[in-house]
Structure 1
Amino acid sequence: MLTVRNLPDEVHRALRVRAAMHGRSTEAEVREILESAVKPEGRVKLGSLLADIGRRAGLTDEEFAVFEQARDKTPARPASFE
């Protein structure tokens, strides 16, 4: 939850207009603006990066399959501090 205080009226009006233009609620528009502002440009996910490294290393499909078989797919348990 986020509360923004002392937002100028003209900014609030502009947000409402922008939200209406995009067919969203003002709250949804603010979420979209914030997400766009903090999402890194050209973000590369770790899995994509590792797959690219594997392709450049020339791994065969059989060699790549070993990684898929060995992967533990059980969900991680949260750390306990008790």
Structure 2
Amino acid sequence: MTTKLIIHDVDENIALGLKRRAAANGRSTEAEHREILKSALQRPRRRPFLEVLASMPDVGRDDDFEVRGA
């Protein structure tokens, strides 16, 4: 099922940018708009914290993190 989406009061520069981007990608303005919405809404919002920790390089020594003077 598809739904029509109508957007009013778009800044002229935004509309022109959309037309230029569509032309550069070989798509109609409408198809470009659909692609932008799809891309924005389907990407993951955040990486899980454990994934961020796991991606950190293994550098330094454990004693770099010792509490001194406690």
Same fold, judged at TM 0.5 (above): yes
Q: Does 1:33 align with 2:36?
A: yes
TM-score, normalization by structure 2: 0.57
Q: Does 1:22 align with 2:13?
A: no
Gaps of 5+ in 1: 43-82
Matches within 5 A, 1:67-82: none
Gaps of 5+ in 2: 46-70
**Root mean square deviation of aligned Cα:** 1.4
Indicate the structure whose relative CO is greater, using CA pairs within 8 Å and at least 6 residues apart.
Answer: 2
Match of 1:13 in 2: 16
Deviation of 1:41 (Å): 2.4
Q: Which consecutive aligned stretches of 4+ in structure 1 deviate over 4 angstroms post-superposition?
A: none
Distance 1:26 1:2 in 2: 13
TM-score, normalization by structure 1: 0.49
- 1:44-74 CA-partner distances (Å, limit 9, x unpaired): xxxxxxxxxxxxxxxxxxxxxxxxxxxxxxx
